[in-house]
């Protein structure tokens, strides 16, 4: 199950890239939507690093439990 989460975290980066690129396309027509998309991209990038740290802690805890 942790392998699924390990690979799924990269989907966050794909979504962030999508929101950033879409924000640039929207900027000329609707700047408010572009700002919203960029904020969402920042949130998704934050979630990527948060999940990556959480998965690392989870794996470390499992290694400690296995060694005892």
The pLDDT, as a whole number, for residue 30 is 95
Report whether pLDDT(38) > 70.
yes
Mean pLDDT of 26-53: 95
Supply the DSSP string of the chain, one letter for each residue.
-HHHHHHHHHHHHHHHHHHHHHHHHHHTT-HHHHHHHHHHHHHHHHHHHHHHHHHHHHHHHHHHHHH-
Confidence of residue 62 (pLDDT cuts 50, 70, 90): confident
Tell me which residue of 51, 39, 56 sits closest to 11, measured CA to CA. Answer: 51
Confidence of residue 39 (pLDDT cuts 50, 70, 90): very high
The pLDDT, as a whole number, for residue 2 is 62
Of all residues in the chain, the percent with pLDDT exceeding 70 is 90
């Amino acid at each position: 199950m942790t392998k699924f989460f390990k690979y799924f975290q990269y989907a966050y980066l794909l979504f962030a890239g999508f929101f950033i690129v879409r924000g640039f396309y929207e900027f000329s027509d609707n700047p408010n939507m572009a700002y919203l998309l960029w904020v969402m991209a920042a949130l998704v990038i934050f979630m990527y690093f948060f999940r990556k740290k959480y998965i690392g802690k989870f794996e470390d805890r499992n290694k400690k439990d296995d060694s005892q």
